[in-house]
């Protein structure tokens, strides 16, 4: 019997190149099968458009020439293509929406014309960049009508991707995925069986179970519920996994998301207790990169019952010393979640988002893939590097001149 093959999926956000100083070149591609490039936006007409053309296609890095003639591609997209060219089993999908742009989905998906425009322009943009498909991140449909429209939108995307792929000889399959919710109030609004027929896999957003919107400090990405202190685990991943599988999703198509960040609670006496504020965080209030954790002065505790970790204690220097608790995934959690993926026969792991991880052997991405069995057990499906219709001359030439 052949060994199982897993997907290893990481989001790369185009804003990472600025203050975070994180480039596509830094991605741990030997431990990845998919990169989800975030995010594209949606116009009222349904047209899918860039959110940052400088980051996407303009910025020049060290080996990029300023003397090229013609209309050429640079930026993050060029670097992602070069990664694909050097790693032929690495796929890149264009992710559309996300939390910021998701309000655009409901009105757009409500009409046949705008759904068609969305699909056509999304496929045109992705294939113009040499990408391998689309990732739809609608957070979240709120009614039966919106769920029906979501299915219709996925149908249009699947058809447009197939039409493009069928023009090649031999034909090429371009992938379609979604980022899907892990909380009942959101997945109850989805028509999961109808969606599933159009999808290559589901990226389960198994994080943000607790945060600044709550009254009590709690775990934000726990695998299981707590029997002893249920108020510390308002949601859990196992319930979500069981829901999707119960709706007919094949386990091999369900990819379990994990956070590369922690959520903080300040002035609290611990899990399940009130708090006052969330602090500054690494780049946004109350959110710390994994590579910044545990915070200095805190003690790490791993709970094997729920599969979750916290760091808790007094951190900072006078006059800014304060008691803080951060809920996050550490090495122990990553290993346990990888084993869970294997035991349940799931399709792999996904992370939000790649700039927050450590480099080298302490990378959570690397720890999970190594626990699954190493790069050799990752999915080996060829990407597409042919872009015959692209507007970019150097991409059409596969960057033969660098």
Side-chain half-sphere of 394: how many Cα atoms within 13 Å? 22
Token couple for 54: 């400088």
- Preceding omega of 170 cis (within 30 degrees of 0): yes
C-alpha dist (Å) from residue 317 to 89, 269, 290, 291, 378: 47, 20, 21, 20, 44
Say which of 58, 139, 146, 305 is annotated catalytic.
139
Instruction: Pinpoint the alpha helices (H) of 41-143.
Output: 53, 75-86, 98-101, 105-109, 112-128
Report the SS3 class of residue 358: coil
Q: Where are the alpha helices (DSSP H) in 254-385?
A: 331-344, 364-372
Is 129 among the domain residues?
yes
Where would I find the H helices in 143-187?
144-165, 184-187
CB 41 within 8 A of CB 50: yes
- In angstroms, the CA 49 to CA 230 distance is 43
Does 311 fall in a domain? no
Range of the domain at 226: 7-259+329-396
Residue 224 lies in a domain: yes
Q: Rounded to the nearest 10 degrees, what angle do helices 364-372 and 331-344 cross at?
A: 40
333 part of a folded domain: yes
**What is the distance of C-alpha 107 from the center of its chain?**
24
Cα distance between residue 257 and residue 203, in whole Å = 6
What is the reported pLDDT for 1?
41
Cα angle vertex 60, ends 56, 62, to 5°? 135
Task: Give backbone dihedrals phi and psi of 292, rounded to 5 degrees, phi first.
Answer: -95, 0
What's the CA gap between 121 and 26, in Å, rounded? 29
Q: Which H or E element spans position 263?
A: strand 261-266
Per the CB < 8 A criterion, the answer to whether 287 and 267 are in contact is: no
Q: Is residue 1 part of a domain?
A: no
> Collapsing DSSP states into helix, strand and coil, what is residue 256?
strand
- Report the number of distinct structural domains present in the chain: 1
In a domain, 269, yes or no: no
* Residue the block writes with tokens 């919106």: 146
pLDDT at 298: 97
Residue 2's pLDDT is what? 55
CB 223, CB 287: distance < 8 Å = no
Structural domain includes residue 132: yes
Q: What is the pLDDT along the chain (402 residues), one digit of tens a residue?
A: 456 799 999 999 999 999 999 999 999 999 999 999 999 999 999 999 999 999 999 999 999 999 999 999 999 999 999 999 999 999 999 999 999 999 999 999 999 999 999 999 999 999 999 999 999 999 999 999 999 999 999 999 999 999 999 999 999 999 999 999 998 889 889 999 999 999 999 999 999 999 999 999 999 999 999 999 999 999 999 999 999 999 999 999 999 999 999 999 999 999 999 999 999 999 999 999 999 999 999 999 999 999 999 999 999 888 888 999 999 999 999 999 999 999 999 999 999 999 999 999 999 999 999 999 999 999 999 999 999 999 999 999 999 876
Which residues on neighbouring strands pair with residue 328, listed in sequence order?
Answer: 309
- C-alpha distances (whole Å) from 112 to each of 44, 124, 139, 232, 353 are 13, 18, 20, 44, 33
Exposed / middle / buried, residue 148 (Cβ in 10 Å: 0-12, 13-18, 19+)? middle
Q: Is residue 207 part of a domain?
A: yes
Across 145-233, the runs of DSSP E, i.e. the strands, are 175-180, 201-204
Residue recorded with tokens 């431990």: 31
Give the per-residue pLDDT at 402. Answer: 60
Q: What is the CATH number of the domain that holds 337?
A: 3.20.20.80
Q: Which helix (H) or strand (E) holds 48?
A: strand 48-49
**For this structure, is 317 an active site residue?**
no
- What is the CA 188 to chain-centroid distance, rounded? 21
Distance CA 29, CA 83 (A): 8
If we measure between CA atoms, which residue out of 30, 8, 7 comes closest to residue 252? Answer: 7
């Amino acid at each position: 019997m052949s060994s199982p093959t897993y997907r290893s999926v990481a989001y790369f956000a185009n804003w990472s190149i600025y203050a975070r100083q994180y480039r596509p070149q830094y991605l741990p591609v030997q431990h990845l099968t998919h990169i989800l490039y975030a995010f594209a936006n949606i116009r009222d007409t349904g047209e899918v458009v860039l959110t940052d053309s400088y980051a996407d296609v303009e910025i020049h890095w060290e080996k990029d020439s300023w003397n090229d003639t013609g209309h050429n591609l640079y930026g993050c997209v060029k670097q992602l293509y070069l990664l694909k060219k050097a790693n032929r089993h690495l796929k890149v999908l264009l992710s559309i929406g996300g939390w910021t742009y998701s309000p655009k989905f409901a009105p757009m998906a409500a009409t046949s014309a705008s759904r068609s425009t969305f699909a056509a322009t999304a496929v045109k943009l992705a294939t113009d960049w040499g990408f391998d498909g689309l990732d739809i991140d609608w957070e979240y449909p709120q009614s039966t009508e919106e769920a029906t429209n979501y299915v219709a939108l996925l149908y249009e995307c699947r058809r447009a991707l197939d039409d493009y792929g069928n023009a090649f000889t031999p034909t090429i399959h371009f992938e379609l995925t979604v980022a899907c919710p892990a909380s009942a109030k959101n997945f109850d609004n989805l028509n999961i069986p109808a969606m599933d027929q159009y999808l290559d896999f589901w990226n389960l957003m198994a994080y943000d179970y607790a945060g600044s919107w709550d009254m009590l400090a709690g775990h934000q990405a726990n695998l299981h519920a707590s029997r002893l202190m249920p108020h510390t685990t308002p949601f859990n991943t196992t319930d979500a996994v069981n829901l999707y599988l119960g709706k007919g999703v094949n386990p091999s198509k369900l990819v379990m998301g994990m956070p590369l960040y922690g959520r903080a609670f300040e002035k609290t006496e611990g899990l399940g207790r009130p708090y006052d504020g969330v602090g500054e965080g690494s780049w946004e209030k109350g959110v710390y990169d994994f590579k910044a954790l545990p915070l200095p002065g805190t003690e790490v505790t791993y709970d094997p019952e729920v599969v979750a970790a916290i760091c808790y204690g007094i951190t900072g220097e006078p006059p800014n010393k304060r008691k803080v608790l951060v809920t996050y995934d550490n090495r122990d959690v990553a290993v346990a979640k990888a084993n869970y993926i294997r035991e349940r026969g799931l399709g792999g792991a996904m992370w939000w988002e790649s700039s927050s991880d450590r480099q080298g052997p302490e990378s959570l991405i690397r720890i999970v893939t190594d626990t699954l069995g190493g790069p050799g057990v990752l999915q080996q499906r060829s990407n597409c590097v042919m872009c015959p219709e692209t507007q970019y001359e150097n991409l059409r030439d596969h960057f033969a001149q660098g």
